Structure 1
């Protein structure tokens, strides 16, 4: 049996160095990964962030997103878009119509 396994990798510990508190459910950038805070994380504190699975995230309106589209996180606007100069967030798990304010995203794939 392998002895070098560390953990499953769906959640990681992250140190908040953003100069602001992060609330549970907020999106954070961890290098080139996108994470979702699993609890409130004060500035300078450590907390757990999910870096896998499907999450409902705010979306740019009136952007139409189709299931399977590559999506990106616009940290300035605080929303998902399809601009490839932003941080890759993952794949759209479901369609999101123009009027939708959220989209389901499979993180970091």
Structure 2
């Protein structure tokens, strides 16, 4: 292996400065990349965030999402919305996350493939 290899890059260190604990399993924005906290990350500590993999995460109840669709991370709802949603401040759209399954109206959880690729932050 190359002497300058650092790590595979599927998990990033995240310094939590949110003012509260980020619970294990919660979606975290690391700049324009989306990931999932692997353990609780108390405020003012650093924890691990997976930026690659499939996780069951919150979905906006009214969104209708097709498998393979790029998603909108709705920061205010702390849930994924479909790619037709109008992004607001703090939302992340684009290649950062893709629906791993279809989900219709009334469904509140969605299996999402986190790509480790930056999206567009509004």
Under a length normalisation based on structure 2, what TM-score does the superposition of the two structures give?
0.82
Tell me the equivalent position of 2:99.
Answer: 92
Q: CA deviation at 1:75?
A: 1.3
Q: How does 1:5-20 map to 2 (within 5 A)?
A: 5-20=5-20
How far apart in 2 are the matches of 1:8 and 1:2?
12
Q: Secondary structure at the match of 1:48?
A: strand
Tell me the equivalent position of 2:36.
Answer: 36
Render the CA deviation track for 1:18-67: whole Å, top value 9, x for unaligned.
11111111111100011111111111111111001101110011211000
Q: CA deviation at 1:4?
A: 1.9
Under a length normalisation based on structure 1, what TM-score does the superposition of the two structures give?
0.92
